Structure 1
């Protein structure tokens, strides 16, 4: 193995491996009535982990895991026009014009925006969530037109969820994701019109949440009930995990079902991890190999061990090797912030 590949592999084993090991144990003990559903960009690695553990007979799962290519942007787009989901979408931080909001949070293209909303409205600036009631009032007369614009996306999403097995009445979807407030899970609970469970690295609002007539149950493996900027390093500096736990295709922003029944996926711009995905795959391989080794030889970590390890990597300069610096880059378009480099942000 070349020196760079060895460094990437070893970094995966030390930085991601222990967390994935503890997370896999939590998934395994989650219950026999669950369907493991690996969500969004983070879910790509989780799905790869679970499939490898199954192949090596190192985990006992009641059902094969499903990888669901979704994102908040895609789901907000698909459900635009629904009062419940539109209000939810306006509850997260954003600063900019209504035009930018429609593009970045809901993934609408310019011609779609101009076909449904008047130019006067698009010029308004807003700050969310402070202005969410005002923005919803502005959008309310146009919800029917917006519903029409996104109807192809919604139809494709409905068919995709059914084909993925999430509508099977005999199993309860168990959403697997990094965290934190379970927005994707809650939208899916509303869309599927059924109760769901979610198992996250961190759940900022754990427990049952009512979404219409159904319940979304959220649990956190490493932290529960913590708030941003409350001193929880694993949450406040979670961008380090977010940068690495991504998929080769990046964030999905739209989908269509073709005439032959297959699905076509549309993605946002590439971050550094998509341009260097072979390097990231080597990091994943190191992490997954470490989990296999741990389970084979009875090596265990506590949640505290993982928290302490993350504290070191996230706060001490030079603990993250230079060979992996180029992977720490992520887009925050949904909040209007563009590309973010946590290495610079956290001065590590």
Structure 2
């Protein structure tokens, strides 16, 4: 796929959705002055876009902007051995064996599974069997609780480098339920706030959604249904964070899962995001009222991405994947979950 065509695709179809969020986030960073954590894989490009906005505004952030290595699976792993934290990990839907749950949702390695030993041969359904599964997991993972505690401390050191003397952490990503933000708050007892493109709404955390603060998949909002597409486009060039350890020099080392196809061809996401930057630059020449009108008209272009028959759009639909191992689904293609296109 040619760079110019991909960049144009990013400008026309992604810019009107991602660009306004990046602009709004940059303004929030300036106003709030808190440390900002662009979390998970999509935080990689979102941080680039917000820094681009700040440069266009002629501002510098008054607090650091960090791309933070994080994943739900890894943070769920850190809840093992902490009975009060486990219910959140078991509240998400899952169908399969206990072994599959531990390897997928809790990112346990083959070495971890060997230490645990045989797991009950029972098929479980979450959240229905959450209480039963909690008892099983607390019991069979006991042999690795001390090791997990060590990983919690390594990751605490990593997170505290972002906080420093500041008391609050702004978490930014495409979002939905704010699970990573909540886990960071609960595991490390730190004050957080979230700013997401889409937020499903929860009293458990303090967060806002730019496009929606009561987002629900399948409720008729096409942008919400396309949130997985945005996650796939904005992904970092790494797989899912699976583990942390210290290397021989004492430095923190991050271990990642396999790459998706679009991560393996990462130049594609760079070209698309360069197109979003072009949209941001064009928006900077307009007043707030005019940009609002452009957003209202042109955000529908992203919705048309699923129907666009250009060679670049067709190739992009085939390449985009996201990792849904925590639900037992492995790698999924976001467009398979949209009505009208399979």
TM normalised by structure 2 equals: 0.89
Three-state SS of the structure 2 residue aligned to 1:41 is coil
**Cα distance in 2 between the residues matched to 1:259 and 1:27:** 39
Going from structure 1 to structure 2, the CA distance change for 1:305 and 1:179 (only over 3 Å counts) comes to: farther
* Aligned pair partner of 1:266 in 255, 262, 269: 255
**Cα distance in 2 between the residues matched to 1:129 and 1:223:** 25
**Cα distance in 1 between the residues matched to 2:76 and 2:93:** 14
Going from structure 1 to structure 2, the CA distance change for 1:120 and 1:65 (only over 3 Å counts) comes to: closer
Three-state SS of the structure 1 residue aligned to 2:239 is coil
Matches within 5 A, 1:267-282: 267-282=256-271
Deviates more, 1:222-231 or 1:274-283: 222-231
- For 1:63-107, what per-residue CA distance to the aligned partner results, in whole angstroms no more than 9, with x for missing partners? 231110111111111232222332111111111100011101111
Residue matched to 1:217: 206
Matches within 5 A, 1:1-348: 4-30=2-28, 31-59=31-59, 61-116=61-116, 119-121=118-120, 123-142=121-140, 144-163=142-161, 165-166=162-163, 168-206=164-202, 208-209=203-204, 216-298=205-287, 300-301=291-292, 304-305=296-297, 307-314=299-306, 316=307, 318=309, 321-346=313-338, 347=341
Q: CA deviation at 1:255?
A: 1.3
Q: CA deviation at 1:296?
A: 4.3
Q: CA deviation at 1:240?
A: 1.5
Three-state SS of the structure 2 residue aligned to 1:70 is coil
**Is the 1:8–1:323 Cα contact (8 Å) retained in structure 2?**
no
Q: Return 5+ residue gaps in structure 1 as ranges.
A: 210-215
Going from structure 1 to structure 2, the CA distance change for 1:84 and 1:148 (only over 3 Å counts) comes to: same
Q: CA deviation at 1:16?
A: 2.1
**Is the 2:26–2:50 Cα contact (8 Å) retained in structure 1?**
no
Three-state SS of the structure 2 residue aligned to 1:291 is helix
**Cα distance in 2 between the residues matched to 1:262 and 1:159:** 11
- For 1:105-160, what per-residue CA distance to the aligned partner results, in whole angstroms no more than 9, with x for missing partners? 111112312323x5252x22111111111101222334543422323422221111
**Is the 1:250–1:269 Cα contact (8 Å) retained in structure 2?**
yes
Q: CA deviation at 1:13?
A: 1.0
**Cα distance in 2 between the residues matched to 1:274 and 1:120:** 33
Q: CA deviation at 1:342?
A: 2.9
Q: Return 5+ residue gaps in structure 2 as ranges.
A: none
Deviates more, 1:298-307 or 1:43-52: 298-307
TM normalised by structure 1 equals: 0.87
Q: CA RMSD in A?
A: 2.4
**Cα distance in 2 between the residues matched to 1:196 and 1:281:** 29
Q: CA deviation at 1:61?
A: 3.2
**Cα distance in 2 between the residues matched to 1:59 and 1:11:** 28
Q: CA deviation at 1:176?
A: 0.3
Q: CA deviation at 1:295?
A: 1.7
**Cα distance in 1 between the residues matched to 2:5 and 2:20:** 23
Q: CA deviation at 1:256?
A: 1.4
Three-state SS of the structure 2 residue aligned to 1:231 is coil
**Is the 1:18–1:301 Cα contact (8 Å) retained in structure 2?**
no
Number of paired residues? 334
Q: CA deviation at 1:326?
A: 3.9
**Is the 1:8–1:324 Cα contact (8 Å) retained in structure 2?**
no
Q: CA deviation at 1:238?
A: 2.1
